[in-house]
Amino acid sequence: MIFIRKQTKTALKWIFVLILIAIIVYTFRDSAGPILEELKRTSVWIILGISILSVGYEMVEGWITCSFARHYNPRFTYRMGLESAFYCSFYRVATLGSGAGVAAVYYFNENGIPVSKGTGMYMVEYAIHKVGIAIFSAIFFVASRRFMLEHYGEYTWLLLGGYAVTFVIAAALILFCCSKRFHRLILWLADKLNRKGRFDGQLQYLKEQCEILESAAADLLGDKRFVAGVVCKNLLKFAFWYGIPYFVFLGTGKITIIQAMAVTSLSVMLAAVLPSPAGIGSTEFVFTMLFAAVTTTGAAGSASLLYRFATFVLPFAIGAVIVILRRRRKRIC
């Protein structure tokens, strides 16, 4: 009987590994070949550099998560926060963006933070993340205003539209997280649409989510010094990823680090408002289009592949290892 159980556990382990491999193949079925070819042509030092920047982003993300989590569990360590960052990176790519939040709440719950608290915490953290993107892009656009207008002046209205949409999304997230009046308005509209009572279950769930967010906002956003610190940590976090193109173009003399961060943050912001799962496809398109105005289309396309490797593939791969190790730890325990 014990032998059969061991065989079953071994079989389940290999099935899980095969599922992971299948997810990796499916997710990167279109970009894996070009990325590998680009990595072969790229200097080892550049690959090492962008890999360090990639991990640096996740390290700060872990720091941010740890800062939030300690409000509910003082024993939540930085190691847990870093593990959570890579854990969510895996599920973000594996589920094309839809499972990162669920994975985060599940991880928090396993580490002493109840689901209700974890849900509210993740929503507040995500809202500040989106606000941080808009702030970062605005700061570096102004810092390199002459360069940006010279290369993208003809797209002024498109850029302004992108900023407007981003700020509207960020404002909506903040309101949804912490405004009781906004919640009352949503619930009032939902009640009007639910006159026949067909959606009573969904309406009750919405009320519960609003209460969770109000509670989280009161806990986390009441400390202005804490919020300011988290915003600054987010700006530091973005600097790692948004500095990757400068590292790729290092030696060409065509772009400074401030300009590279301005263009990259703008491309990420614009890609985020395009309908695309997990930003796959839209990020490369906008990234290539904007950097092609500075270099050549070929060089911009190559840089976009390296950026995809550093921001999606590498965190996903490290996250896959962490997922496997976590399952192994559970099996041993």
The Cα 302–Cα 235 span in angstroms is 26
Residue 153 structure tokens: 């002046």
pLDDT in tens, 272-313: 666 554 445 567 788 888 888 888 888 888 888 889 889 988
pLDDT confidence of residue 3: 44
In the predicted model, what is the mean pLDDT of residues 315-326?
Answer: 88
In the predicted model, what is the mean pLDDT of residues 91-98?
Answer: 76
Q: How many domains does the chain have?
A: 1
Chain centroid offset of residue 155 CA: 26
pLDDT in tens, 193-216: 777 667 677 777 777 777 777 777
What is the residue-averaged pLDDT of the chain?
A: 81
Closest by CA to 304, choosing from 92, 2, 91, 50, is 50
What is the total residue count of the chain?
333
- Span of 1-5, 10-14, 33-37, 256-260 with lowest mean pLDDT: 1-5
Any domain includes 127? yes
Any domain includes 277? yes
Any domain includes 111? yes
**Has residue 32 got a pLDDT over 60?**
no
Any domain includes 22? no
2 confidence band (pLDDT: 50, 70, 90): very low
Any domain includes 202? yes
DSSP string, 276-307: -GGGTTHHHHHHHHHHHTTS-HHHHHHHHHHH
Domain that holds residue 260: 42-332
Any domain includes 18? no
Any domain includes 20? no
The Cα 78–Cα 55 span in angstroms is 15
pLDDT confidence of residue 55: 96
pLDDT in tens, 231-276: 999 999 999 999 999 988 886 777 899 999 999 998 888 876 665 5
Any domain includes 132? yes
In the predicted model, what is the mean pLDDT of residues 96-125?
Answer: 85
